[in-house]
Structure formats: C-alpha cells, structure tokens
Amino acid sequence: MNYIKTTFLLAALTALFMGMGYLLGGTSGMIMALIFAAGMNVFSWWNSDKMVLRMNGAHPVDETSAPELYALVRQLSQRAGLPMPKVYVMETDQPNAFATGRNPQHAAVAVTTGIMRALNKEELAGVLAHELSHIKHRDTLIMTITATIAGAISMLANFAMFFGGGRDSRNNPLGFIGVLLMMILAPMAAMLVQMAISRTREYAADREGAMICGHPEWLARALEKIEAAAHAIPNPRAEAHPEMAHLFIVNPLTGQGMDNLFSTHPNTENRVRALMELAREMRGAGGGADMASAPVPRKDRYSRPDDYYAGGGSRSGPWSRAGKSNPPRGPWG
C-alpha cells in the first residue's frame, strides 16, 4: 500500500511540473517540461549518491580507519540480505545519518561524527538498520528524484514572471493571473507532496529497520536522542541545501529563517510510539533476535580526539582543540 501511495505522489509531482510547463508555454511547454523531467530523473538516477555525498561534505572510511562502524554496517547488511554499501563520515557535531544510491549495488551510508559520539552501539545499530532499509526498498532513489523535481518546480516558479507574464497569452492559457497563482501555489504543492512521500517512506523504514536489528527500542531511543540534539546543534551544510534535508533520519534543519518550510519528517514522538508498539508485538510473538557483537579488528581512528588528530583528521571538526580538554564520550571510546 505504501508503494502505491508513493507512486501516486510521484506521479502527482510530475503532473504538477508538466502543468507548470503548460501554463508557461501551452502544449509545447508541457512537452518540454516532460522531456526536462525525464532528463532530470535520469541524471538523478545515475549521479544521486555522488551529488548528495559531495553536498554534505562526506568522506569515505573503511575497516582500517573506522573498524567498529564498518563492521557494524557489514553485519547489518548481511542480516538485511544486502551487499555491503560504501560507508562515509560527515564532520559535524550534529548527530544524524542518511543513505543514498540508485540501487543496493551502488549504495552508501553516511553518518556524522556527532552521532558516533551521541549514541551507544545498540542505538547506532538501530539507525544504520533504518538507513539500510531505505537502500533495500530503493527509497534513496525515490527521495532524490523527489527533491530534484521539487527543486525544478521552485525554479520554474521563480522564472514564471519573466517568461509567462507577457501580454501575449497564446502560450499562456491563464495569462498573468495564472502565472501569479502558479508562482505562489506550485512550490507549496510540491512541498506538500514531498512531505507526504517522505513521511510514508520514513515510517516504513522505521519498521523494516527495527526488524533488521531485531530491537525496535534501539531505534526509538536513538530517534529521541537525535531529535533532542538536532534542533540545538546546527549542520551548516544541511542548512545550505535544505532541499536535501528529507534524506536524513531526523530533520537536520534548526528551523532558522524559512528552513522550517522544508521539514519533511514525520513527528518523532509518533515514530517512537509506533516503534514501541512494534517492540511489544515482537515480544508477544517471541521475536527480537539478538545481534552478535560486531568484530573489532583494531582501534577505531574515531575513538578519541587524540587518535583522530594522529590519523590526520581536521582540527576544525567536532573534535577541535576547543573541546579537546573534555571531549564527549560515545560508543567508540
């Protein structure tokens, strides 16, 4: 049912984009919009992972530089029946994570340095399982395409006054009033559709992720911690690209200025409530298989600030000299 709803909403978003093309240029404008939308979708399908990772300043890690994180992703991937995705780390204090990639064979999971310090190993396993669920069901591709079309609709709305407001209404069936309404209503409609798609996929990923790690309460605790910190700790790169905020497990925007308009996440309290209900159902059914401890080949380069500096990490990140005297402790040290 969720996939039917998502398909319907994506079709509505594409139809909205084509409708804008029709208002700007009549039938020819609608055809151009359709061609443009198809081109954007192909570009997003092929380049979504690279684009999103670059925008968020993520850099790759492996079992040498981050053995505990890498081993945990590998173990959860095996439980989910997925190929091992690439693993990335983002240098920011804000605890958060996202997944990207056009399919499970070309996927990546990215976590912030803040989340590795804020969560224990069980909670981080819940978060990673949630992100792997997005990969398993190809939500990463759906959400990237959604963001691309929504961004294009906003772009068309900005150009509408210049290209659709002239006296000649032959290519603009509704004239100036239609253009004005389009400028105001189209971005709002696109935002609402984007929010609806995101909410649908987040609830589904919460449930599937809980099944992968075997303990819904792990993810529930993680969501509560991330939600509390995300609104207090800014993520500059996410603030600069709010159209990508829906990719994160919890809204990374602090709500400053107009950024709250891009909030596409369901209410965290509702997500936690649903997860705890699932935990009760699993206990009643005798579910909730424990995860074996992930192997740790060697000490993680992200274990402590001094180890991070020794490994060549940036001093301007979350473990800067300003916080070196009393660093936060997390599952890595």
Residue 168: pLDDT band (50, 70, 90) is: very low
Distance separating alpha carbons of residues 260 and 264, to the nearest angstrom: 9
Q: What pLDDT does 299 receive?
A: 40
Residue 265: pLDDT band (50, 70, 90) is: confident
Q: What are the strands of the beta sheet with 58-61, ordered from one edge? A: 58-61, 86-90, 107-112, 97-101
Q: What pLDDT does 109 receive?
A: 97
Chain position carrying tokens 């009760």? 280
DSSP H helical ranges for 137-215: 139-164, 175-213
Q: What pLDDT does 325 receive?
A: 36
Give the single-character DSSP code of 295: P
Considering 63, 68, 91, 131, which one is annotated as catalytic? 131
Contacts of 228 (CB under 8 A, 6+ apart): none
Beta strands 58-61; 97-101: pairing state:
unpaired
Give the single-character DSSP code of 57: T
Closest by Cα among 213, 179, 326, 196 to 266? 196
Mean pLDDT score, 211-230: 95
Distance separating alpha carbons of residues 96 and 98, to the nearest angstrom: 7
Least confident of 109-113, 225-229, 236-240: 236-240
Annotated active-site residue 243? The verdict is no
Contacts of 142 (CB under 8 A, 6+ apart): 6, 10, 197, 201
Greatest mean pLDDT among 108-112, 134-138, 184-188, 253-257: 108-112
For the chain, the C-alpha Rg in angstroms (whole number) is: 22
Mean pLDDT score, 29-33: 73
Q: Which residue has the higher pLDDT, 299 or 35?
A: 35
Contacts of 64 (CB under 8 A, 6+ apart): 297, 298
Mean pLDDT score, 146-170: 61
Residue 27: pLDDT band (50, 70, 90) is: confident
Q: What pLDDT does 322 receive?
A: 35
Q: What is the pLDDT of residues 57-115, one digit of tens each?
A: 999 999 999 999 999 999 999 999 999 999 999 999 999 999 998 889 999 999 999 99
Distance separating alpha carbons of residues 87 and 300, to the nearest angstrom: 14
Mean pLDDT score, 140-168: 64
3-state class (DSSP) for residue 100: strand
Q: Which long-range contacts (CB under 8 A, 24 or more apart) does 325-332 make?
A: 327/117, 328/117, 328/118, 329/117, 330/116, 330/117, 330/118, 330/119, 330/120, 331/68, 331/116, 331/119, 331/120, 331/121, 331/124, 332/68, 332/69, 332/116, 332/117, 332/300, 332/302, 332/303, 332/304
Query: What is the percent of the chain where pLDDT is above 70?
Result: 60
Q: Is residue 329 predicted with pLDDT exceeding 70? A: no
Q: Is residue 217 predicted with pLDDT exceeding 90? A: yes
Mean pLDDT score, 284-290: 64
Q: What pLDDT does 285 receive?
A: 73
Q: What pLDDT does 21 receive?
A: 72
Least confident of 144-153, 163-172, 271-280: 163-172
Q: What pLDDT does 28 receive?
A: 75
Q: What pLDDT does 51 receive?
A: 80
For the chain, give the mean pLDDT: 75
Q: What pLDDT does 81 receive?
A: 96
- β-bridge partners, 98: 110, 248
Distance separating alpha carbons of residues 261 and 247, to the nearest angstrom: 15
Q: What pLDDT does 153 receive?
A: 73
Residue 222: pLDDT band (50, 70, 90) is: very high
Q: Which residue has the higher pLDDT, 249 or 44?
A: 249
